[in-house]
Structure 1
Amino acid sequence: MPPVAVRRVLFVPVLPILAVVLACLFLPVVVLAGLVSLLGDGRYRSIRLLRFALAWVFFETWAVAACTLVWLGSPLGGRVRTERLWERHYSIIRRYIAGLYGAGERYLNLRVEVEGEWEAPGPERDPAPLIVLSRHAGPGDSLILVHHLLTHHHRRPRLVMKDFLQLDPCIDIAAGRLPNVFVRSAGSGMTGEIGGLADRLGPADALVIFPEGGNFTAPRRRRAIRRLLRLNRRDQALRATRMRNVMPPRPGGALAAVEAAPGADVVFVAHTGLERLNSLKAVWQGLPLTFVVRARWWRVPAEAIPAGRRERTDWLFTQWERIDAWIAENSSAVAPRGEPG
């Protein structure tokens, strides 16, 4: 990963350039794509993607500019981390992600249905901090999850993310100023940092972890099972073999968070629909989306979490088996819709 100064110089100036390029391409692409779609299936994929890209560049540029203004107006150029500074950055991220989510609804036909809400939406919430453990599958599932936490539940997410996401200027700047962890790869020895994030969780915070370590694919699932066999974890490998829709959870980061935040409740997130978009070809052919993304959340109180690492690992696998069973039951029942206009 390039140093911070290099990332700022190389990637931040790209945003206005990209905005100009997309704006110049918009009219000819709209005309050409419109003619092609009229002769084809009428789904206007190119136009939809271009409009979404323009929206992304707009919100990305706005967020970077807003973060810059906050930095200029902060003590010592933002080097003094205060609660007020955090709140201003969370507000920027909330608007940024809400804008992207809205663009996904308008241009990509994204629709999400959540069942089993774990607390009443809005600023009035339970005082307990949260550790959120989610299945990871398909493009944008982390964005959808963070959007619900920020906008519907007014939680302040602390994220465990792959370090390559720092190539995105908004994520690099805004998330880098907030309590988050960037990891090189799954299982890369970051449990200490994750435990540090959990140790300082407040009543409005939610630590978000994807224990599978990456987006679900069938080859990755097979590699994860072979890894468990190499580590002589045969019982876990057998349980992972029976789970057809998820990868086995890596317990290190999740259990480090639970241990460091003994008063935190744990929320599990299952979802289905986005796994259909598992390649660029599938994304292109799937637009606009003709299915509803379904999600199921449930909350485990802190006092119901077992003690002991072996017991907690077994508990984590049991919860993942519950996620797998829910996906198996609901993946074929993802609500289809009529062809969008």
Structure 2
Amino acid sequence: MLPPRILRRLVLAPLVIVVTVFMLVTLPFWLVVTAAASLRLPPPQRRGPRFVWFGTAWLTLESAVLIACLWLWVAGGARRQERHYALIRWFLTRVYAMAERVFRLTVEIDEPVATPGERAVQLTRPVIVLSRHAGPGDSFLLIYHLLTRYERRPRIVMKAALQYDPSVDVVVNRLPNAFVPRKSGQKHVIEEIHRLAATMGAHDALVIFPEGGNFTPRRRRLAIRRLEEKGLAEEAERARGMDHLLPPRPKGAITAIEACPSADVVFVAHTGLDDLVTLGDVWRKLPFSAHITAKWWRVPAAEVPRERAERVRWLYGHWEQIDAWIDAQRLSRAPADRPGPGPGRPG
């Protein structure tokens, strides 16, 4: 159970700062210990020092954010949304730069080319972002690019447990976002999506992950079985044709579209770190050089179907397009990266 807010502010936030100071003081010791423990491993598997360095940098940035939030609260700026979006942008920009140096992260984005006139028109409309959910930090990367590259103010519905992270707890709760408890049920999630979508302005972006979680073969089988049990034979058949994605749950996306009919819809596909689902996967399998490929395309609000049944088929159609794109990406890099079919593809 999540502790009360006052307890999180008085205990967890100061604890992060204390741990940060401790790690900064003892950083040379941890680097020596992890480096020594990694000597018997080949260079690509020597992850210990990289994780220690990245973790310490992350804690330092978190502490800086918490101190900045305290200053904003004392100065009376706790309700100034633009300052908090700027703070998130500052934090994610530095985390991204650190990931580029420590994990050799590269992100390649295939995006439609818009003329200055088209871009000017697009910036007058909010967007609903429907993204694949896979790999570590995909939401962080997506929010980072929305803030920095596309000049958007992201909104997102998140698990309440993320509030154990003090900087997320403080900053995100001061902005139009939503935290939902794990056992709150789909109804509460849909209500929060409706609330966030209905109040969007021209520069806002509501981010939704229609799959509801990272892909695994087991989750795929269970999701198809649930569709069959509900009598959704067409959706189940189309889900069986997708090898890399869970079938989308259309209710959240449709609710957002209904609540903000003026919004364009953006679909986001990405691949590269699909096999890293848990922290254990990240520790065991994180490559020496991490590369993520992404592709997105935009559907103007006027081209979004009006009827619910048509919207469900339309959503599945775009999900099939994402699945085909992932398949093509894996096949294109298979000779260099791995023999045979990519991991995660069910037999």
| TM-score, normalised relative to structure 2 | 0.88
* 1:86 paired to 2:81: yes
Give, in whole Å, the separation in 1 of the partners of 2:300 and 2:288.
36
* 1:100 paired to 2:99: no
Letter in 2 for 1:8: R
Give, in whole Å, the separation in 1 of the partners of 2:3 and 2:253.
28
Letter in 1 for 2:23: L
How many residues align? The count is 329
Mark the CA change 1:58 to 1:119 in structure 2 (over 3 Å): closer, same or farther. Answer: farther
State which of 107, 112, 122 in structure 2 corresponds to 1:112.
107
Structure 2 partner of 1:251: 250
Mark the CA change 1:168 to 1:120 in structure 2 (over 3 Å): closer, same or farther. Answer: farther
Identity %: 44
Give, in whole Å, the separation in 1 of the partners of 2:208 and 2:279.
25
Letter in 2 for 1:91: A
Q: Deviations over 1:155-209 (max 9, x none)?
A: 1001121111111111111110111122234735322221121112111111111
State which of 146, 158, 163 in structure 2 corresponds to 1:161.
158
Give, in whole Å, the separation in 2 of the partners of 1:11 and 1:216.
32
Q: Return 5+ residue gaps in structure 2 as ranges.
A: 338-347
Structure 2 partner of 1:14: 15
Structure 1 partner of 2:192: 193
Q: Deviations over 1:214-266 (max 9, x none)?
A: 12222222222222222222221121111110111111111111011111100
Structure 1 counterpart SS, 2:130: strand
The Cα of 1:334 is off from its aligned counterpart by 4.8
Alignment of 1:12-91 (within 5 A): 12-43=13-44, 44-74=46-76, 78=78, 81=79, 85-91=80-86
Structure 2 partner of 1:135: 132
Structure 1 segments of 4+ aligned residues over 4 angstroms from their partners: 117-121, 334-337
Structure 2 counterpart SS, 1:190: helix
Alignment of 1:158-307 (within 5 A): 158-185=155-182, 187-307=186-306
Give, in whole Å, the separation in 1 of the partners of 2:290 and 2:322.
20
Q: Deviations over 1:273-308 (max 9, x none)?
A: 121212334322333443421001000000000001
Mark the CA change 1:233 to 1:151 in structure 2 (over 3 Å): closer, same or farther. Answer: same
Give, in whole Å, the separation in 2 of the partners of 1:92 and 1:157.
13
Structure 1 counterpart SS, 2:186: coil
Structure 1 counterpart SS, 2:19: helix
Give, in whole Å, the separation in 2 of the partners of 1:10 and 1:229.
47
The Cα of 1:10 is off from its aligned counterpart by 3.0
Mark the CA change 1:42 to 1:144 in structure 2 (over 3 Å): closer, same or farther. Answer: same
Give, in whole Å, the separation in 2 of the partners of 1:249 and 1:105.
31
Give, in whole Å, the separation in 1 of the partners of 2:219 and 2:12.
30
- 8 A contact 1:294–1:334 mirrored in 2: no
Mark the CA change 1:52 to 1:236 in structure 2 (over 3 Å): closer, same or farther. Answer: same
Structure 2 counterpart SS, 1:275: coil
- 8 A contact 1:109–1:288 mirrored in 2: no
